[in-house]
Structure 1
Amino acid sequence: MSSLQFDHATYDSSKSNNFLLPSSSTNGVASKNNIMVASPSEKIKMYSPAFYAACTAGGMLSCGLTHTAVTPLDLVKCNMQIDPSKYKNISSGFGILMREQGIKGLFKGWAPTFLGYSAQGAFKMGGYEFFKKYYSDIAGPENAAKYKTLIYLAGSASAEVIADVALCPFEAVKVRVQTQPGFARGLSDGLPKFIKSEGVMGLYKGQVPLWGRQIPYTMMKFASFETIVELMYKHAIPTPKDECSKTMQLGVSFAGGYIAGIFCAVVSHPADNLVSFLNNAKGASVADAVKKLGLVGLFTRGLPLRIVMIGTLTGAQWGIYDAFKVSVGLPTTGGGSASEAKE
């Protein structure tokens, strides 16, 4: 590959030290051996404050809305992890929750889910765009092109470290509300009750396992997505990306996101079991979780449901995120072309 084909690697031409700046272009397309540049018709300048604000807003919407939508699946998954003797499988889990709590009960914990994952999505997506450019500038054109996957991995990991600090308190309350009947109705009464019981720092006792779940998940999410989308445009789509319709590009974003989500679910599942266990049991440790769940259970308990949930979730997140970007005049993510799609 002759150049690093970041879809967003189009830098302000007034800055001579920017990475991979094309020497000349026609109609927003760089000359051979350079990257594609943003179309002049785009409403937002790449890597401007408005660009990062748009990516942050898109991340907030994509993660907050999707995680809230799958709250019933998450509720069943958490209860299967915490009480497998009662919630033996997906169908029986839904049946038990419906009988005991009704349809309304399937969305228990939606408020901490929405607020927590909206905050996480904002830092995750906006942070990824920032760190991807930052590390590319440090590496320089040749090394950035050669080690682009490492840049994807480093950028996503850096963003996720910050994003999870925002998520952790909400995740703690969510799990407690979902898995302890009678603990609280939701965030408004659950948060003060949690703090009264375990203190403010108790909200962060799952921080390290959360990093253990989310950082590998996010590294896989971004690196595999960028690679899958690039391969799809190269081998599966007969038309170059910049000649595809916006609808086609968004379809590729969803498909690439769904496939990436399957990998994400597998690599992050053991830590997900730990997070659920620690946030459910007061004073529990990682050793307690391993002893209770067993090594095999740590890797497999609730995994099929999580694959379905995370695959759908990740596909929808990339679809919503890229749809938002397109709506403000930015290119979709991945595939190497930053030229605007046709209507």
Structure 2
Amino acid sequence: MPSEEEKKNIPLFVPQFTVADYGSFFLAGALCATITHGAMTPIDVVKTRIQIDPTLARHSLFSGGRLIVTKEGTSALLTGFGPTAVGYFAQGGGKFAGYEFWKKQFVTLAGDQETAVKYRTAIYLGAASAGEFFADILLTPLEATRIRMVSQQGYATGLVSGFTRLLREGGVRDLYAGFIPILFKQIPYAIGQFTVNEFCHEVAFRSMSEETRARLSPSSKLSISLSSGIIAGFAAAILSQPADTLLSQINKGHGPEGTMLYRLSALAKQTGFKGLFVGLGPRMVMTAGLVSGQFLIYGAIKHAMGAPPGVEIHKESKKN
């Protein structure tokens, strides 16, 4: 057994990902995000309407959905599907590939196994935040288009008409009006998604020997991945809910004039603590499905493409 001093000097093996590997990470992330977010469009429509329409504020996901269908027809539940699919294709690719890239960079900076494990929480937080920041540059204009289409009935017939109308009437400023609130929303979301998922897997594997882990059946692996994704989804929804509510209101045109931070502060005061969490229940359901589905699809696509696994720095035992 190596001494404590020797353990500190154990070099950390960090895989050298190629451009092709990152391309696989991007494609897998893009597909898993666009598939899951596209499938969740009806739930997201109801959630957004609950947040911004006072007549729906007290409704549940199911009663709100029934009311929308009764008044506007079933097609209303697919409003914003185009911007959702395209926006999250770009954002999902950037986020997943970015997380893999930044985690590798931070692990490399740690230099040795013990240091990387000791500071793994900071590594997860930093990688999730950095990856999400750059991904949101791609997402923001399309998310603004989606919310405008959902919140204003008849605003546009599809992605191209909605995007061009928003650009024509408000310019780049309106397309990126929600960038700061999106960061406030998506970075906590990514932190919950990746960090909690990492620790859930760590807890599941900590009591297993390497031999046991290698012999896990496909159903056992699926169970661990699914349960970890669901828990991570709940965490992501709770952490990002206040900013998600404010983002919907900003893109609806609510709030006073002024800087974005002033508008967010004023809206938060107007909405109140309870109001910031309106629609949390439906959003937790939606996010649990999104996150768990994304990790399962991401892993399956990576495996099908022969992409390497990401860097792992889990704490192997309670004694370490």
TM-score grouping bracket, smaller chain normalisation? 0.7 to 0.9
Q: Alpha-carbon deviation of 1:325?
A: 1.6
User: Which residue matches 1:151?
Assistant: 123
Q: 2:224 aligns with which of 241, 246, 252?
A: 252
Q: Label 1:157 to 1:209 Cα distance change in 2 as closer, same or farther (>3 A).
A: same
Q: 2:147 aligns with which of 175, 195, 213?
A: 175
Q: 1:295 aligns with which of 273, 278, 303?
A: 273
- The amino acid of 2:66's aligned partner reads G
TM-score (norm 2): 0.86
Q: Alpha-carbon deviation of 1:93?
A: 1.1
Q: Deviations over 1:284-322 (max 9, x none)?
A: 532442244223211x21101111110111000101001
- The amino acid of 1:20's aligned partner reads L
User: Which residue matches 1:186?
Assistant: 158
User: Which residue matches 1:234?
Assistant: 206
Aligned: 1:109 with 2:80: yes
Q: 1:124 aligns with which of 81, 84, 95?
A: 95
Asked whether the equivalents of residues 229 and 256 of structure 1 are also in contact (C-alpha less than 8 Å), the reply is yes
The residue matched to 2:17 in structure 1 has which SS?
Answer: coil
Aligned: 1:55 with 2:25: yes
User: Which residue matches 1:75?
Assistant: 45
Aligned: 1:85 with 2:55: yes
Q: Label 1:189 to 1:288 Cα distance change in 2 as closer, same or farther (>3 A).
A: farther
Q: Deviations over 1:238-297 (max 9, x none)?
A: 973322234432332222111111011111100000100000116753244224422321
Q: Label 1:283 to 1:304 Cα distance change in 2 as closer, same or farther (>3 A).
A: closer
Q: Label 1:19 to 1:187 Cα distance change in 2 as closer, same or farther (>3 A).
A: farther
* Residues matched between the structures, number: 298
Q: Label 1:136 to 1:107 Cα distance change in 2 as closer, same or farther (>3 A).
A: same
Q: 1:209 aligns with which of 181, 202, 206?
A: 181
Provide the C-alpha distance between the structure 2 equivalents of 1:139 and 1:238, rounded to a whole number of angstroms: 24
Provide the C-alpha distance between the structure 1 equivalents of 2:219 and 2:307, rounded to a whole number of angstroms: 14
Structure 1 stretches of 4+ with a deviation exceeding 4 A read 235-239, 330-337
The residue matched to 1:47 in structure 2 has which SS?
Answer: coil
User: Which residue matches 2:252?
Assistant: 280
- Aligned CA RMSD, in angstroms, stands at 2.5
Provide the C-alpha distance between the structure 2 equivalents of 1:287 and 1:228, rounded to a whole number of angstroms: 34
The residue matched to 2:137 in structure 1 has which SS?
Answer: helix
Aligned: 1:137 with 2:115: no
Asked whether the equivalents of residues 100 and 311 of structure 2 are also in contact (C-alpha less than 8 Å), the reply is no
- The amino acid of 1:186's aligned partner reads G
Provide the C-alpha distance between the structure 1 equivalents of 2:26 and 2:11, rounded to a whole number of angstroms: 22
Q: Alpha-carbon deviation of 1:192?
A: 1.2
Unaligned runs of 5+ in 1: 3-17, 22-36, 38-44, 338-343
Provide the C-alpha distance between the structure 2 equivalents of 1:244 and 1:130, rounded to a whole number of angstroms: 28
The residue matched to 2:55 in structure 1 has which SS?
Answer: coil
1:23-34 pair list within 5 angstroms: none
Unaligned runs of 5+ in 2: 3-9, 257-262, 315-320
Aligned: 1:324 with 2:301: yes
Asked whether the equivalents of residues 144 and 175 of structure 2 are also in contact (C-alpha less than 8 Å), the reply is yes
Q: Label 1:257 to 1:335 Cα distance change in 2 as closer, same or farther (>3 A).
A: farther
Moved more, 139-148 or 84-93: 84-93
User: Which residue matches 1:30?
Assistant: none
Moved more, 59-68 or 135-144: 135-144
Moved more, 240-249 or 271-280: 240-249
Q: Alpha-carbon deviation of 1:222?
A: 0.9
Asked whether the equivalents of residues 229 and 335 of structure 1 are also in contact (C-alpha less than 8 Å), the reply is no
The residue matched to 1:317 in structure 2 has which SS?
Answer: helix
- The amino acid of 2:36's aligned partner reads T
Asked whether the equivalents of residues 253 and 322 of structure 1 are also in contact (C-alpha less than 8 Å), the reply is no
Identity fraction in percent = 36
The residue matched to 2:111 in structure 1 has which SS?
Answer: helix
Q: Deviations over 1:167-222 (max 9, x none)?
A: 00000000000011121122121111111221122110110010001111111211
Asked whether the equivalents of residues 57 and 278 of structure 2 are also in contact (C-alpha less than 8 Å), the reply is no
- The amino acid of 1:251's aligned partner reads S
**Larger relative helix fraction:** 2
Asked whether the equivalents of residues 249 and 255 of structure 2 are also in contact (C-alpha less than 8 Å), the reply is no
